[in-house]
Amino acid sequence: MAERITVDPVTRIEGHLRVDCDIKDGKITNAWASGQMWRGLEIILKGRDPREAWLFAQRICGVCTTVHAITSVRAVENALNMEIPLNAQYIRNIIIAAHGIHDHIVHFYHLSALDWVDIVSALKADPKAASTLAQSLSPWPNNGVQKFKAVQDKMKKFVESGQLGIFANGYWGHPAMKLPPEVNLIATAHYLEAFEYQRKANQIVSILGSKTPHIQNLAVGGVANPINPDSQSALNMERLAYVKALMVELEDFIRNVYLVDLAVVGGLYADWLPYGRGVTNYLSVPDFPMDTKGTKFWTMGGYIPNNDLNKFQPITSFNDPIFKNGVKESIKHSWYEGDWTRHPYEEDTVPKYTDFQHDGKYSWVKAPTFNGEPAQVGPLANVLAMYVAGHKPTQKYAKLVLEKIGAIAKTDVGLDALHSTLGRHATRCIRANVLYDILLENYNALIGNIANGDMDAYNPPDFPKGEQTGFGFHEAPRGTLSHWVVIKDGKIKNYQCVVPSTWNAGPRNQEDKHGPYEASLIGNPVADLEKPLEVLRTLHSFDPCMACAIHLHDQKKTNIVHFNHTHGV
């Protein structure tokens, strides 16, 4: 007999996710992922001026704020067949690279490290031993005894006062927590430092985007702020020098802290490498355009069906027909009117809530498919695509990360280990390191272009009469994001967003196949039904954002876990 548990809401994510699992003999045998709130940005956008769509669309989320802005202008530019000045491409690229790095740091440390790191155990650590260990792994200057002692004293004060603050409600002492106290102390210290470094990445976004969250510097056709190296009120050399200073600090943290911590956690939890595989159709898109049209890119993407790297189909331009024709969404199990599978241009969004029906409709998330199949998106999909496409920086950092994990685990860890809960963390770290290289290349390209006297940053759009369709995509921190727009006589007739967390959090599709969250939970161990830490580990590895998945908003809920005892499931 299986026992059903409901985790609602899942915390340390954005938005409201409910997950139901059937558990038998200590393992998950079935799962349902349910997005729990809906707002309807797609409806709000109808009838509006396509030039302002991005300002609304980026309010879909307060976490991946820039990504909907970028994708929205790309969709409208695609509908109008526009070219974008090189400076604008570079500025956008720097913004999205910095945003991606910020997002990956926050995810690893602040949203998921505590699934693996036991803060309370860190109190028992010997700061000297922690320092010796940390210094043997990395040249990071803040790994001294005094630093670790100070962090430990700070944590002791928290615990003695009975106020764990941001560390309250962790599953401390859980049997699945395996790190030695010294490693827990190192990770706790870096958790706190990571707040500073994610902020530096976000400062780059705010300098070039004029504000964060929710940048203000975009426009359909380019970017809105003028470039003038000598003007105080434009993008000038002083601002660009500040961006460079932030980049240098960021690089040190990504290479010498994030990468090392990831390898330590991955290596010491090698027993977790078999868990969390799930859907192995992988979708990602190329990004960081190098030209004005979006036909050459710094990063690659494509579709890998059924984990067969030999069947990789590259996606190669902002007009790629493989992508354009491959995406559909189904609502058989989602709280919308009807039961259809449609291409985004043909979709509608008509909410119709019923109760949670395990065999029927149970989520606000639609179920996207690529060529008719559920697909996993995210850094894992993107790293696999870039690896097979021969992207040198990806191969370099992937080999480095796998070698380091293997050295700590004292076993060979190959590419196949990446199809897992820990693999999603490892590939996010690989991608953060790749993003840094791209950030630097775009920074140098922008400086070079300005030095050559090119100050162009905007081409004005022109809306003809009649109907145009367009799509824009972006490889966002959580994976492939696309916006699809139908424009009629200069106004939005239909607007659909197919978002990374929609791909991954989607419910069963039209053929009742599990979405990626659901599939990856099946087979996971659960040691303590009242503290389903393992469920959180696997869910968090996707970095869920339900605000994006359903384009929704916030509501208070209190229960964390409750049980339904069901029979014979």
CB atoms under 10 Å from CB of 228, counted, come to 14
As a whole number of Å, the end-to-end CA separation of the chain is: 6
From CA 511, how far away is CA 328, in angstroms rounded? Answer: 13
From CA 168, how far away is CA 158, in angstroms rounded? Answer: 10
545 a catalytic residue:
yes
CB 459 within 8 A of CB 10: no
Is 329 an interacting residue with respect to ligand NFE (CB under 6 A)? no
Binds ligand NFE (CB under 6 A): choice among 223, 264, 481, 522: 481
What's the closest the beta carbon of residue 53 comes to ligand NFE, in angstroms?
15
* Residue 63 near which of ligand NFE, Mg ion, none (CB within 5-8 Å, type-dependent): ligand NFE
Identified catalytic residue from 68, 190, 483, 514: 68
CB 354 within 8 A of CB 361: yes
Binding part of the chain for ligand NFE, among 125-133, 340-348, 444-452, 495-503 by CB under 6 A, reads: 495-503
Identified catalytic residue from 16, 34, 64, 429: 64
DSSP-derived secondary structure letter, 254:
I
551 φψ region: left (φ > 0), alpha (ψ -120 to 50), beta (else): left
Using the structure block, give the residue that is written with the tokens 């038998």: 24
* Residue 36 near which of Mg ion, ligand NFE, none (CB within 5-8 Å, type-dependent): none
DSSP-derived secondary structure letter, 199:
H
Nearest to 425 by CA among 520, 546, 526: 520
Q: Please say which residue, 497 or 536, places its beta carbon nearer to Mg ion.
A: 497
What's the closest the beta carbon of residue 273 comes to Mg ion, in angstroms?
33
Is 67 an interacting residue with respect to ligand NFE (CB under 6 A)? yes
Q: Please say which residue, 95 or 497, places its beta carbon nearer to Mg ion.
A: 497
The helix-helix angle for 237-253 and 421-451 (nearest 10°) equals: 150
14 a catalytic residue:
yes
Collapsing DSSP to helix, strand or coil, 549 comes out as helix
What's the closest the beta carbon of residue 546 comes to Mg ion, in angstroms?
12
Residue 342 neighbours by CB under 8 Å, 6+ apart: 328, 329, 330
- Map the footprint of ligand NFE across residues 521-560, applying CB under 6 A: 545, 547-548
* Residue 326 near which of ligand NFE, Mg ion, none (CB within 5-8 Å, type-dependent): none
Length of the chain: 569
* Residue 545 near which of Mg ion, ligand NFE, none (CB within 5-8 Å, type-dependent): ligand NFE
Binds ligand NFE (CB under 6 A): choice among 7, 33, 53, 61: 61
Binds ligand NFE (CB under 6 A): choice among 294, 393, 500, 506: 500
What's the closest the beta carbon of residue 216 comes to Mg ion, in angstroms?
24
* Residue 41 near which of ligand NFE, Mg ion, none (CB within 5-8 Å, type-dependent): none
Q: Please say which residue, 86 or 499, places its beta carbon nearer to ligand NFE.
A: 499
Binds ligand NFE (CB under 6 A): choice among 478, 508, 531, 537: 478
Size of the site for ligand NFE (CB under 6 A): 16
Which backbone phi and psi does 11 adopt, to 5 degrees? -100, 180
Task: Name the amino acid, one letter, at 122.
Answer: A
What's the closest the beta carbon of residue 68 comes to ligand NFE, in angstroms?
6
String marking each residue 5-34 x if it binds ligand NFE according to CB under 6 A: ---------x--------------------
Q: What separation in angstroms does the CA of 293 have from each of 67, 77, 86, 319?
A: 19, 10, 9, 10
64 a catalytic residue:
yes
What's the closest the beta carbon of residue 42 comes to Mg ion, in angstroms?
6
Dihedral sign computed on CA atoms, order 122, 126, 128, 130: negative
DSSP-derived secondary structure letter, 513:
P
From CA 443, how far away is CA 282, in angstroms rounded? Answer: 30
What's the closest the beta carbon of residue 542 comes to ligand NFE, in angstroms?
9
Show the 3-state SS of 432-486. Answer: HHHHHHHHHHHHHHHHHHHHCCCCCCECCCCCCCCEEEEEEEEEECCEEEEEEEE
Q: Please say which residue, 123 or 204, places its beta carbon nearer to ligand NFE.
A: 204
429 a catalytic residue:
no
Is 106 an interacting residue with respect to ligand NFE (CB under 6 A)? no
Binds ligand NFE (CB under 6 A): choice among 113, 185, 476, 498: 476
Is 94 an interacting residue with respect to ligand NFE (CB under 6 A)? no
Task: Name the amino acid, one letter, at 367.
Answer: A
Q: Please say which residue, 90 or 484, places its beta carbon nearer to Mg ion.
A: 484
What's the closest the beta carbon of residue 64 comes to ligand NFE, in angstroms?
3
Binding part of the chain for ligand NFE, among 170-178, 296-304, 407-415, 475-483 by CB under 6 A, reads: 475-483
Q: What separation in angstroms does the CA of 422 have from each of 33, 252, 433, 541?
A: 20, 23, 17, 7
Long-range contacts from 153-159, C-beta under 8 angstroms, 24+ separation? 155/119, 155/122, 155/123, 155/188, 156/123, 159/120, 159/123
Is 64 an interacting residue with respect to ligand NFE (CB under 6 A)? yes
Which backbone phi and psi does 154 adopt, to 5 degrees? -60, -45
Q: Please say which residue, 283 or 497, places its beta carbon nearer to Mg ion.
A: 497
From CA 298, how far away is CA 283, in angstroms rounded? Answer: 17
Q: Please say which residue, 23 or 377, places its beta carbon nearer to ligand NFE.
A: 377
Residues that bind Mg ion (CB under 5 A): 497
The HSE-up count of residue 73 (CA atoms within 13 Å, CB side) is 27
What's the closest the beta carbon of residue 505 comes to ligand NFE, in angstroms?
8
Q: Which residues bind ligand NFE (CB under 6 A)?
A: 14, 61, 63-64, 67-68, 476-478, 481, 499-501, 545, 547-548
Q: What are the catalytic residues?
A: 14, 61, 64, 68, 478, 501, 545, 548
